[in-house]
Amino acid sequence: MAFRTEPITVNFGPQHPSTHGVFRMRVTFDGEVIVDMEPVFGYLHRGSEKLAEERTYTQVITLTDRLDYVASMSNNLAYVLAVEKLCGINPPERAQYIRVIMAELVRIASHLMGLGFLLNDLGAFATPLMYMFREREKIMDLFEMVCGARITFSYMRIGGVAEDLPPEFYPAMTRFLKEMPGYIDEYEALLRENEILLARTKNVGILQPDKAINGSVSGPNLRGSGVPWDLRRADPYEIYDRFEFDLPLGKVGDTYDRFLVRLEEMRQSVRILNQAMEQIPKGPVRASVPMLVRPPIGDAYAHVEAPKGELGFYVVSDNSIAPYRCKIRSPSFINLTVLRDMVLGWKLADMIVIFGSLDVNMGEVDR
């Protein structure tokens, strides 16, 4: 006997516990199998690019905080790099080290959150999330020492960073670097070999390398598919060429690989941080740049390897105090373009996990 069944359409989000903000997916199910999926963007659109045209160059830094709000330091960094390129400013060496330290710390923080929410989407009832927030909290403390804020840092300035590292930063940082590898081991012990996790993530949501490249995917998602592309290596901005670190690569490109790559990247970040804390020179942290910069007419594009992928700022100047145009290439948005391909044919539960494994941030997607 054959039943005639109808596909049902469900609106996932924008208010849904695992859409990582306000993402909406219009999904058509045949039973539990996804036959169609259409992402709907824009619930968090704040017009950052347009707002940037009405702020002075320094003021735009505060806007970049709100793109990927779990990794604001990287956003600050990408933006100030673009403006420095535009004006031809060279920040002092110490400032560059501080920037790298901040960027790597924020990478750990962002990966912690990404992994925590991925495991939460898998149904691990907040336990890994709680553990990871505990460590993220320590990173937030470090940021609070340095710049006084815990989420919206606004720490980098054109030509350097706002202020030098305070004295209490060094012992706290040393302690953090000593403890962190142990915690990462603990996360691994918690779930890495778990049979249920393996069954849920292995070979699920495979992103083939060619598809990833065609879709302009970047960051851990791309490396999870086995493509050795990292802007810290490929186009070493700042002083990344002075550090030794490995690029963790996935083999299959499934959810599990993306999980492992993020886990391993945290280890590598700790490694970079260790080297940076050793090498950091003394000196000024800020080139003498006025608060009101007036770059020459021209344009510049600068990109960094943000935790989520390649984050780029394209700034056009018309020699006024505000950018003529400020285009943001946000990795989360572009990574999302492959989502539909990845989830078709999988089940409802897989869709949530695949979406979680892409680790997008809606603040960045909608800008």
Type of residue numbered 279: Q
Cβ neighbors of 4 (< 8 A, separation 6 or more) are none
234 binds other proteins (CB under 8 A): no
Could you tell me the smallest distance in angstroms from the CB atom of residue 132 to other proteins?
11
Strand-pairing partners, residue 8, are 29
Binder among 90, 127, 174, 279 for other proteins (CB under 8 A): 127
Nearer to other proteins, 218 or 357 (CB): 357
Strands (E), the chain: 8-12, 24-30, 33-40, 156-157, 160-161, 298-306, 309-317, 325-329
Nearer to other proteins, 212 or 343 (CB): 343
**Following DSSP, what letter does each residue of 118-140 receive, concatenated?**
HHHHTT-TTHHHHHHHHHHHHHH
Could you tell me the smallest distance in angstroms from the CB atom of residue 22 to other proteins?
15
Could you tell me the smallest distance in angstroms from the CB atom of residue 323 to other proteins?
13
Contact string (CB under 8 A) for other proteins, positions 294-333, x = contact: ----------------------------------------
Where in 52-91 is the site for other proteins (CB under 8 A)? 55-56, 58-59, 61-63, 65
Nearer to other proteins, 149 or 239 (CB): 149
Binder among 46, 50, 88, 125 for other proteins (CB under 8 A): 125
175 binds other proteins (CB under 8 A): no
Binder among 149, 177, 239, 280 for other proteins (CB under 8 A): 149
CA atoms within 13 A on the CB side of 337: 12
Cβ neighbors of 192 (< 8 A, separation 6 or more) are 260, 263
Distances (CA, A) of 140 to 79, 274, 304: 21, 18, 21
| 8-state DSSP, 182 | H
Binder among 68, 84, 104, 121 for other proteins (CB under 8 A): 121
Quote the CA–CA distance of 135 and 123 in Å, as a whole number.
21
Count interface residues toward other proteins (CB under 8 A). 82
Quote the CA–CA distance of 330 and 202 in Å, as a whole number.
28
7 binds other proteins (CB under 8 A): yes
CB atoms within 10 A of CB 3: 4
- Cβ-count burial 225-251 (b if 16+ within 10 Å, e if not): bbbebbbbeeeebbebeebebebbbbe
Stretch that binds other proteins, among 32-40, 42-50, 237-245, 273-281 (CB under 8 A): 32-40
The DSSP element (H or E) to which 185 belongs, if any, is helix 169-187
Quote the CA–CA distance of 238 and 215 in Å, as a whole number.
27
Nearer to other proteins, 198 or 234 (CB): 198
What sign does the CA torsion over 184, 236, 90, 67 have? negative
Nearer to other proteins, 193 or 278 (CB): 193
Could you tell me the smallest distance in angstroms from the CB atom of residue 74 to other proteins?
17
Binder among 27, 67, 105, 115 for other proteins (CB under 8 A): 27
Nearer to other proteins, 120 or 330 (CB): 120
Where in 337-356 is the site for other proteins (CB under 8 A)? 344-350, 352
Where in 186-215 is the site for other proteins (CB under 8 A)? 186, 189-200, 202-204, 206
Could you tell me the smallest distance in angstroms from the CB atom of residue 362 to other proteins?
16
Binder among 74, 76, 96, 120 for other proteins (CB under 8 A): 120
